[in-house]
Structure formats: C-alpha cells, structure tokens
Amino acid sequence: MSIQDNKQKWNEKVAKGIAKSPERMDPFLTTSNIEMERCFTPGFDYPGYEDQLGFPGEYPYTRGVQPTMYRGRFWTMRQYAGFGTAKESNERYKYLLSAGQTGLSIAFDLPTQMGYDSDAGMSLGEVGKVGVAIDSLADMEILFDGIPLDKVSTSMTINSTAAILLCMYIAVAEKQGVSADKISGTIQNDILKEYMARGTYIYPPKESMRIITDIFAYCKDNVPKWNTISISGYHIREAGSSAVQEVAFTLADGIAYVDAAIKAGLAVDEFAPRLAFFFNAHNNLFEEVAKFRAARRIWAKIMTERFGAKDPKSQMLRFHTQTAGCTLTAQQPDNNIMRVTIQALAAVLGGTQSLHTNSRDEALALPTEDSVRIALRTQQVIAYESGAADSIDPLAGSFLVESLTDQIEKAALEYIEKIDKLGGAVEAISRGFQQKEIQDSAYAYQKSIEKDELIIVGVNKFTVKEPPPTGLLKVKEEVEISQKASLAAMKGKRDDAAVKASLAQLENAAKSSDNLMPHILAAVKTYATLGEIADVFRGVFGKHTETVVL
C-alpha cells in the first residue's frame, strides 16, 4: 500500500470520527532530515493482510489498540513501588511523581497480600519487607496523603484482598472530596494465576471468583473508570513459562473470568471494556514484540467469536508491562540496566499502554532511589530520544516479526484448546495442568543455562570477581514495631461497636448472594482492619489447599 493510499485511508478515518487530530499523522524527520510517514501499511500482497493486520486501532488490533498509538500520548510510566510503612512509601511516590512518573503502582507486603494484619503471628518478620504494610483505612489515608486521587491513576498489585484494598482507596478518595466515579486505576484482582504460579491465594477458587465478579458488577455502576482486573501473565512468566505459555495461560484465565461474569448475570459489553492485562517483557526482543501482537489478535477474536462482544473496547487487549524480574542478576548488577532497556524497548515496540522498568539492584534488595531514577530515565530516553515512538507500529511488515506473531498465535491457541478440553482454566488448574507445563518449561530453561547452551552475561560467561555489594536499601526491623504500635493506637480510638456490627453484616452478606462490595466498604469506613475482614471470609468460605503436582 502506497503512502498516498495511507493518507487517503487515514483521512477517511478522520471523516468518520474514528480518528482525531490528523496532524498526528504528519510526516516526521529523522536526525538525517529524512522525511518519514507516521504509519506504514506493510505488503499489499501479504496473505490475509486485511484480516490479520489492517490499521492500528482496528480489529483485530494486531498493530495496537489506538489509531495513533504514542502519537496521541506516551504510555503511562508507572513505576512499581512500596515498602515499609505508609509514610515511607508516600514519600517515595511523591519523589517518583516529581521525577516525571505519570501514574502510581503500589506494592503491598506479604501480610497485606495474604489477608493478615501486621500484629498477626503469620506476619512476623514480613511486615513492610516486599511492599507497604496496610492494616486499615488509617494506613491508606497516610499512603495517599497529599496525592490528589482525581489527578493520579493508581495501579494496585493485589489479588486475594483486592476488594478490601479497592474499598479503602474509594474511602480515601471520598475523604479527599473525590467521588468514586472520578477515580481511575487498576487492581490486579487475578486469583487464577495465584493458584498456578504465585501462591498468594486465600479462599477456594469458586468463592474467589464470586468476589471478583462482585467487583465487576459494583464498579460497572459505581467506579466506571476503574479497571477491575489485570489478568496477569507476568507471574506466569516469572515462574518459568515460555512466551507462548504466558499468552495461552493468561488468555485462558481471561476466558474463565468472562465466563464467570456472564454466569453471574452481567452482559459482556457491560464489564469487558474495563478488563486489562499485565505481561512480562523478557530478553528476546523480537519474540516479545510478536508475543504482544499475537495476544491482542487472539483476544480480539475470542471476544467477538466466542462471546459475541460488539463494543470495540470489549475486543481490545489493553495491557501494562513490567520488565522481567527473573532475568535480573545479582552478579554484575549494572548489566541489568541493559537488560531492562531491551525489555522496555520490546514493550514499547509491542504497543504497551503502561510500563514499569525494574531497577538494577532488585536481584539483591529493594531498589534505592538512584536505581529507581535510572529505571524511570530508561523509559524517558526511549520515549523522547530513541525514535521508537515516532512511528506507529514501526515493526509491522517485518518478515521475522509477522512470522513470529503467526506462530505464537497458533501455538497459544493449541494450548487454549487443550485447556478447554479439560473443562476450562479453573478445572485445568485444579488438575495441575498449567503448573506442570510451567515447571517443565522452567526446568528446561535452567538446564540450558547450566549447560552453557544459553549465555547469561556475567553468570555463565564473562564473569569477574566482585566485592560484596554496598549501599543497598534495607527495611529496618523497627518498621514492624512501629506498624504494630500504630495499629494498636488506631484500634484504641475506633468505635468497636460499629466495627462489630459492620463485620456481622459482612458475614451475613457472605452467607447470602448479596454483592459483597458495599458491605466491605461499610466495614472499611468503621476502620475494621484488613485482617478482620479477611477472617470473616475465611470463616465463611474456608481456605484453599494447594494442588500437588507430581
């Protein structure tokens, strides 16, 4: 297709109101003053071109979910952060925002993820270690002190306790004078990948799926700008899956969530526009780009052909990307800067909507401020200096990329078919299918490193003797002591009768078919703790026992 044909088609899109700001499609100059078009359409004789590729912003969205992609605006630069107390994390968020970050991404400590308060026996030694400790609404108020929630988009990496944390966020917004329909962000809320890859589940799958669909229904009516789930392939890849398995198992989980929501009485186009995804960016640049393109295409077809979605927003796979933590090495940690740069570039060339870049020292400890700044600057250099965002879908038409996209799509669909035959993602997880596939892939990958078939620079080749690392960030033991003291002080001030009444109402709701969200929100506002609310659900729903894979 010629440049003139490109312009004509683009003008038609503008005339129909599909695309805006035609100046975004004006040609640009390279550093050598070569004039280039913003969007090229590859090979008019490419087999199946019209169906498979098309234009960016058009079904099946292989080339991106927006017609102008980063010509409209850059991806959201959303650095994942949180450690210690709410006060310490609040200071880090303000630092990141002042450094040019455009969205927040909250890391919670393990007790918060598992539904335990900081004073619980199970929390001993873990308070504030891998994320921020949040016990109650009081902590959430401190976490977002001075951060206007109508101006900032917030992502929360939380699953089993996602409903509780979202209700705390809504309550903080209300205290700031911001109504729930004005806040925007994402909760991960993806419990299925916890059963297969990560392990921070609490309740059995059936009951967990009920909580998730209750969130879908509540947010549809009350928090319409919120992405109610971020269906995560990231942790599947971190557990050792291949790129194909990451796509297949993530989208199979997506099918399960859509099925569950429809069975709960929701129409597909009522909730599907708020579904989001979360992928890993690994080391192989072109495979990762092709993976993102294939995932978009498969999901668009699933939503239209399988679920009959009519709203284009229901068909679009919008995703956040994080660079691969599993590729970071403790040896020669500065090498991680280059790894992260390649991975971030893959995410951008693949059309991500938001991006977190890992820090160089994360194989050793939580990142220092200097390391976080370098990670953020990596995104900014790609955005403003590399030229990668000047063109819309710059790798379209590459024989390598298009072939890889097709092959990843084919292999992923074969996996999804196997999972369907097992009864769907939930049933397949209960049988240990995905877990076994991931374990086999992880074993093969590690074996290839140990046999020097796969070279990891600084690990099995180009090694050097290194002194012990210095200057690492450490969460002090005093954090746990101060967090417990704050929790005790809060409990001493709250209205115990109101707390008990709200928890009793929540228990009754859990035993009925009521939507749980209004009852959780009511309990949160009385300063019932996260652990107290989770304990109500443990009492009614029980706890999940891990499937043993042999």
Adjacent-strand bridge partners of 455? none
Classify residue 403: in a domain, yes or no: yes
pLDDT values of the chain reduced to their tens digit, one per residue, 550 residues: 444 555 566 566 666 665 555 555 677 776 667 777 777 665 434 444 445 677 889 999 999 999 889 988 999 998 877 888 999 999 999 988 998 887 898 999 999 999 999 999 999 999 999 899 999 999 999 999 999 999 999 999 999 999 999 999 999 999 999 999 999 999 999 999 999 999 999 999 999 999 999 999 999 999 999 999 999 999 999 999 999 999 999 999 999 999 999 999 999 999 999 999 999 999 999 999 999 999 999 999 999 999 999 999 999 999 999 999 999 999 999 999 999 999 999 999 999 999 999 999 999 988 898 999 999 999 999 999 999 999 889 999 888 899 999 999 999 999 999 999 999 999 999 999 999 999 999 999 999 999 999 999 999 999 999 988 888 888 888 899 999 999 999 999 999 999 999 999 999 999 999 999 999 999 999 999 999 999 999 999 999 987 665 5
How far apart CA 219 and CA 170 sit, in angstroms, is 11
Classify residue 443: in a domain, yes or no: yes
How far apart CA 527 and CA 139 sit, in angstroms, is 10
Classify residue 320: in a domain, yes or no: yes
Nearest to residue 433, comparing CAs of 248, 204, 191, 229? 248
Q: What is the pTM of this model?
A: 0.89
Classify residue 222: in a domain, yes or no: yes
Task: Print the SS3 string covering 390-444.
Answer: CCECCCCCCHHHHHHHHHHHHHHHHHHHHHHHCCCHHHHHHCCHHHHHHHHHHHH
Classify residue 280: in a domain, yes or no: yes
pLDDT in tens, 272-286: 999 999 999 999 999
> Residue 255: its pLDDT value, please?
98
Classify residue 502: in a domain, yes or no: no
CA distances from 454 to 269, 333, 378, 400 (A): 45, 19, 26, 21
Q: What is the mean pLDDT of the chain?
A: 91
Q: What is the domain range of residue 448?
A: 205-462
- Give me the DSSP letters along 221-265: HH-TTEE-EEEE-HHHHHTT--HHHHHHHHHHHHHHHHHHHHHTT
How far apart CA 76 and CA 219 sit, in angstroms, is 22
Count of domains forming the chain: 1
Taking each continuous run of H as one helix and of E as one strand, the counts in the chain are 22, 12
Q: Which two tokens stand for residue 129?
A: 């270690």
Burial grade of 369 (CB within 10 A; 0-12, 13-18, 19 or more): middle
Return the residue matching tokens 């996602």: 162
CATH code: domain of residue 282? 3.20.20.240
Classify residue 56: in a domain, yes or no: no
> Residue 47: its pLDDT value, please?
46
- CB-based contacts of 466: which residues, under 8 Å, 6+ apart? 331, 332
CA distances from 296 to 19, 146, 247 (A): 20, 37, 10
Classify residue 430: in a domain, yes or no: yes
Query: Residue 543: what are its φ and ψ, rounded to 5°?
Result: -120, 145
